[in-house]
Amino acid sequence: MIRGLLALLLVLMPLMSMAEPGIPALTLTTGEDGGQNYSVTLQILALMTVLTLLPAALMMMTSFTRIIIVLSILRQAMGVQSTPSNQILIGLSLFLTFFIMHPVFDNAYQNGVKPYMDGEIQVLDAAEKASTPFKEFMLAQTRESDIELFASIAGHGTIDSAEDVPFSLLLPAFVTSELKTAFQIGFLIFIPFLIIDLVVASVLMAMGMMMLSPMLISLPFKLMLFVLIDGWALLMGTLASSFYV
């Protein structure tokens, strides 16, 4: 988890680097190898700025969006409005996100964060190496039509290969694709519970019990169905495997 946060932090903060302490707020020095170092005060300013973007990056650049939407739709389909609570859903989504993104976080840490912390590479090189695993992951989950859409809006022109897709286009395309995929999975989850609601409502109408809420009767059956099929394990496994198909 810590490696993942460090990797995300380095991807979002290409202005940080190893430098000697200094008083001036904006001090730029060029090393013998051509690398550029910034003053500590500028590094702290960049760090504080990027920390505010870290939660958004964790949600928008990882598998978190798809997971939390699917879990929310599942709760709505089952008819339990506050169980599990929002805190439980968010916590479950976060830990499942770290489980799914562990290879990406580890790759970014080994190739970008660790060499940078050891002083082997400069910050710009480290940011590029750390962002490569995230870009590969996002490209694998993004539809070509979404990339073409945002490229057309931005007037970017023809994109010959996946390596030529800039982050400015990949980020909105990735989020759009994740939203589409999440709602597709949610639709498939919703169907069985909707059928149970329709059957229960039809039976109550046939018995003339129109004043009795169908949701009150169908809820135990939906819970029983979800438990009998081992729904949580099935859903978690399906979500995790959907990112590596």
Q: Could you read off the pLDDT of 82-105 as tens digits, one per residue?
A: 778 888 889 888 889 888 888 888
**pLDDT on residue 8:** 59
Contact between 142 and 170 (Cβ < 8 Å): yes
Q: Could you read off the pLDDT of 121-141 as tens digits, one per residue?
A: 776 777 778 778 888 888 888
**pLDDT on residue 1:** 58
The beta strand positions in the chain, using DSSP E, are 28-30, 36-38
**pLDDT on residue 221:** 85
Q: What are the residues whose beta carbons fall under 8 Å from the beta carbon of 132, sequence distance 6 or more?
A: 108, 111, 112
Look at 245 and 237; give whichever has higher pLDDT.
Answer: 237
**pLDDT on residue 128:** 78
Residue 97: closest CA among 57, 123, 126, 64: 64
**pLDDT on residue 33:** 55
Q: How confident is residue 220, by pLDDT bands cut at 50, 70 and 90?
A: confident
Percent of the chain having pLDDT more than 70? 78
pLDDT (average), residues 40-44: 58
CA distance 112 to 97: 21
pLDDT (average), residues 37-56: 65
Look at 27 and 110; give whichever has higher pLDDT.
Answer: 110
Helix (H, G, I), strand (E, B) or coil at 24: coil
Least confident piece of the model among 116-130, 166-180, 196-210: 116-130
Question: What does the DSSP 8-state code read for residue 29?
Answer: E
Least confident piece of the model among 22-26, 33-37, 43-47, 139-143: 22-26
- The whole-chain average pLDDT of the chain stands at 77
**pLDDT on residue 17:** 43
Q: Could you read off the pLDDT of 61-77 as tens digits, one per residue?
A: 888 989 999 998 888 88
Calculate the dihedral angle through the C-alpha atoms of 26, 32, 33, 36, rounding to the nearest 10 degrees. Answer: 0
Contact between 42 and 26 (Cβ < 8 Å): yes
Burial of 32 (0-12, 13-18, 19+ CB in 10 A): exposed
**pLDDT on residue 26:** 47
Neighbouring C-alpha atoms within 13 Å toward the C-beta of 127: 13
AA letter at 141: Q
The encoded tokens of residue 130 equal 């750390």
Per the document, the length of the chain is 245
Q: What are the residues whose beta carbons fall under 8 Å from the beta carbon of 102, sequence distance 6 or more?
A: 4
Question: What does the DSSP 8-state code read for residue 122?
Answer: -
Angle at 29 between CA 26 and CA 32, to 5 degrees: 170
pLDDT (average), residues 216-241: 85
Q: Is the peptide bond before 166 cis (omega within 30 degrees of 0)?
A: no
Look at 236 and 1; give whichever has higher pLDDT.
Answer: 236
**pLDDT on residue 81:** 76
CA distance 42 to 48: 10
**pLDDT on residue 11:** 57
CA distance 241 to 119: 37
**pLDDT on residue 60:** 82
Q: How confident is residue 32, by pLDDT bands cut at 50, 70 and 90?
A: low
Residue 136: closest CA among 6, 1, 11: 11
